[in-house]
Amino acid sequence: MDWLIRWPEDQRLCGTGGCRLSLYVSDDNRYLRVFDRQAWDPDIRTVGDEIRLEASFHHLNCLPPREVCRLAWAWDPTTRSLSERPSSDGEAVVSGFGEGTVDLGEVDGRPKLPDDIPAAVFDRYLAGRRACGNPDDADAFTVSYPAVASTPDLNGDGQRDWVIEAPSFCAEQAAADYGYEVWISDETDGASRAFVAAPGRWPAFQVERTPAGMLDARPCLTGVICETIPLEWNRAARVFRPASSESLSSRP
């Protein structure tokens, strides 16, 4: 038996992102917290042989930017977590860095990282941080960290993968020489880097298929994605490369 908790509509539990919603899934002799965050208009629906949880989210969390975005997930017994699915409004591409199903809060002013983050991804997270000085105080500085997010399975091994967004930069520094990186789960090293995007690019994932399709995207300020480059997984080299015309023609 699983448990869905719709918390009271109280100002302590609600905000511009909706009201708190929690889902606990039974797993042997324990319960896993697989969804716990603010959301609007939650719904549980059956699609084929799947039961999906769906909800709406505030426009600040949507890419491309729009007033509200609708997202959906289904239970994945392999990863023991929720996996992204197309939503009822027909949206089958999850853009940007997605929406974490559990709000982990913050530690020292920055988002707390998931417990299952691979060591290699964590090392890259630390290596990617940047220090920004204070022009009014030579001894003061702030640290900007990359953003890290879990993604759907991208290479067909049944495991969730990872993206790392370049950190913001200071006025006196040049921007990072990459937009984001894709890291694929690896049984040997925990994860390995499989793609480095150019500056100004964003990841997007086609979630109507398994494994999810990988798109390298350039978002527009007008609220649409101007350009996407489909990528394909090269099993031998363990990297993503622009998809060939033959590969694209064979896709459903």
Closest to 113 measured CA to CA, from 73, 147, 161, 83: 147
DSSP reduced 3-state for 247: helix
Residue 65: predicted pLDDT? 57
Q: Using 50, 70 and 90 to split pLDDT, how confident is the model at 35?
A: very high
In the block, which residue shows the tokens 């694209």? 248
Cα–Cα distance for residue pair 66/222, rounded to 1 Å? 9
Alpha helices in the chain (DSSP H): 119-127, 245-250
Closest to 164 measured CA to CA, from 154, 186, 149: 149
Cα 252 to Cα 74, 184, 205, 210, 249: the distances in Å are: 22, 24, 15, 12, 8
Please report which helix (H) or strand (E) contains residue 163, including its range.
Answer: strand 161-165
How many Cβ atoms sit within 10 Å of the Cβ of residue 132?
Answer: 16
pLDDT digits (tens, 9 = 90+) for 114-149: 989 999 999 999 999 988 877 777 777 788 899 999
> Mean pLDDT score of the chain, rounded to an integer?
87
Cα–Cα distance for residue pair 43/65, rounded to 1 Å? 23
Question: Which comes out higher in pLDDT, residue 47 or 219?
Answer: 47
Cα 31 to Cα 26, 175, 238: the distances in Å are: 4, 43, 35
Residue 252: predicted pLDDT? 58
Residue 241: predicted pLDDT? 96
Domain ranges in the chain are 1-102
pTM for the predicted model, two decimal places? 0.88
Q: Using 50, 70 and 90 to split pLDDT, how confident is the model at 225?
A: low
CB 70 within 8 A of CB 85: no
pLDDT digits (tens, 9 = 90+) for 64-97: 556 678 899 999 999 999 999 999 988 898 887 7
Residue 19 has pLDDT above 60, yes or no: yes
Average confidence (pLDDT) over 47-76: 80
Beta strands across the sheet bearing 239-242: 93-95, 202-206, 213-219, 225-234, 239-242
Question: Which comes out higher in pLDDT, residue 134 or 250?
Answer: 134
| Main-chain dihedrals φ then ψ at residue 247, nearest 5 degrees | -65, -45
Name, in order, each residue with C-beta under 8 angstroms of 174's C-beta and a sequence gap of 6 or more: none
DSSP reduced 3-state for 61: helix
CB 126 within 8 A of CB 141: no
Which tokens go with 145? 């960290």
